[in-house]
Amino acid sequence: MSAMHARDDVFAAGEPGLAYHAPRDLEEALALLARYGEEAKVLAGGQSLLVFLSQGLIAPAALIGLRRVPGLDGIEERDGGLTIGAMTTQHALESDPTLRTRYPALAEAAQAIATPQVRQRGTLGGNLCHANPTGDPPAALIALGASIEIVNGDGARRVPVQEFFRDYMEPALQPDELLTAVHLPPPVGSAYLKHRIRGVDNAIVGVAAAIALAPDGTCSEARIGLSGAATTPLRAVAAEAVIRGKPLSDDTIQPAAEAAAQECDPLDDTEASADYRREMVAVFVRRALARAAERARQGDTE
Ligand SMILES: Cc1cc2nc3c(=O)[nH]c(=O)nc-3n(C[C@H](O)[C@H](O)[C@H](O)COP(=O)(O)OP(=O)(O)OC[C@H]3O[C@@H](n4cnc5c(N)ncnc54)[C@H](O)[C@@H]3O)c2cc1C
């Protein structure tokens, strides 16, 4: 019996007061969501949801498992970019050759998550819907200019990834909606760096940078995503403006790093103070921009 079926049977056997559904297609999953509304929770890899459930932080009437729904898993080249299914595991992201060479920020962010065990089960969609401000993939997706596909019984909509994070651990998702895919535009030079104390920790600060170069070597486009730097994953737009259109050197990267430290509003918690996080934003934005610029120069995205 596979692990998937073993888990399905555990729920089917009946947790008191908790119904478990394993829909066979998207239509059935959406119909269940419409039926239960706020009483249901979608189950992806379970790495965050089951922790909340076991700690009594949530008490849904039903779980709707997505593992048997076809078409939600996998990485596909489309329109010069990539489409990644919501149920693609974090392990699949870190080990995919296309991501590692053309979108290294996302492969590096996936690799920075917790442990191999978590990454084997945890999915990209689940990570985004959990909307933890210290999560790693959100910062990478902001830098890469990703958009998110959201579906309900009436159709689909797409939102830029930074608009998906409405508030602290609150995604812009209605109870009848599913996140089905993430779309990435054509690649540019990118990098993700994570600052943490122990190897399995969440980020004190995580920084992703993406850089495109003009033929004369100046920065034609820059995007910077931050984790641990606000109550939601954050796009550092002021810092991006500092380097856009300029040559990339210490003289331009350092002021951009300082601008990022100014525009963020970091978390202040038991892991790190807001002041320390702000200082680390400057340090890691500088390093991530330098690495992304180096990759853009080497054309590492082809
Ligand atoms: C010990 C540990 C350490 C961790 N460390 C890190 C870390 O360093 N960095 C990091 O980024 N993450 C970390 N995580 C979180 C991990 O990445 C989770 O896998 C992830 O947050 C949730 O993904 P999941 O597929 O397990 O989703 P689940 O736990 O199944 O679901 C999470 C939430 O998203 C909702 N949901 C899931 N999929 C969808 C969908 N397609 N549409 C709509 N709603 C959906 C669920 O209803 C639930 O509310 C850690 C987790 C653990 C247990």
pLDDT in tens, the chain (302 residues): 334 444 444 454 456 689 999 999 999 999 999 999 999 999 999 999 999 999 999 999 999 999 999 999 999 999 899 999 999 999 999 999 999 999 999 999 999 999 999 999 999 999 999 999 999 999 999 999 999 999 999 999 999 999 999 999 999 999 999 999 999 999 999 999 999 988 889 999 999 999 999 999 999 999 999 999 999 999 999 999 999 999 999 999 999 999 999 999 998 998 999 999 999 999 999 999 999 999 999 985 54
Whether ligand 1 lies within 6 angstroms of the CB of 88 is answered as no
Give the pLDDT confidence score for residue 238 in this predicted structure: 98
Specify the pLDDT at position 246. Answer: 96
Pocket test for ligand 1, best of 7, 49, 150 (most atoms within 8 A of CB): 49
Same fold flag, 3-65 and 75-184: no
**Ligand 1 mean position to 185 CA, how many Å?**
24
pLDDT at 7: 46
pLDDT at 196: 95
Task: Report residue 275 as tokens.
Answer: 């002041």
d(CA 129, ligand 1 centre) in Å: 7
Closest by alpha carbon to 104, among 140, 78, 128? Answer: 140
Q: Tell me the CA–centroid distance for residue 45 and ligand 1, in Å.
A: 7
> Ligand 1 center to residue 219 CA distance, Å?
35
* Amino acid 46: pLDDT: 97
Query: Model's pTM, two decimal places?
Result: 0.94
Q: Is the CB of 144 within 6 Å of ligand 1?
A: no
Half-sphere exposure of 183 (CA within 13 A, CB side): 12
Cα(47) to ligand 1 centroid in Å equals 5
The CATH number assigned to the domain with range 3-65 reads: 3.30.43.10
Atom of ligand 1 nearest to the CA of 42: 47
What is the CA angle 112-268-226, rounded to 5? Answer: 40
Question: Among 42, 58, 182, which residue has the most ligand 1 atoms within 8 Å of its CB, making it the best to mutate?
Answer: 42
Give dist(CA 119, CA 117) in Å, integer: 5
At 217 the pLDDT is: 93
What are 278's two structure tokens? 């702000």
Judge: domain 190-298, CATH 3.30.390.50.
yes
Which pLDDT score is estimated for 301? Answer: 52
CA distance 193 to 121: 23
Q: Is the CATH code 3.30.465.10 the one for domain 75-184? A: yes
Main-chain phi, psi angles of 73, to 5 degrees: -120, 140
The CA 297 to ligand 1 mean position distance, Å, reads 34
Q: Where are the domains of the chain?
A: 3-65, 75-184, 190-298
Does the Cβ of 122 fall within 6 Å of ligand 1? yes
CB 113 near ligand 1, within 6 Å: yes
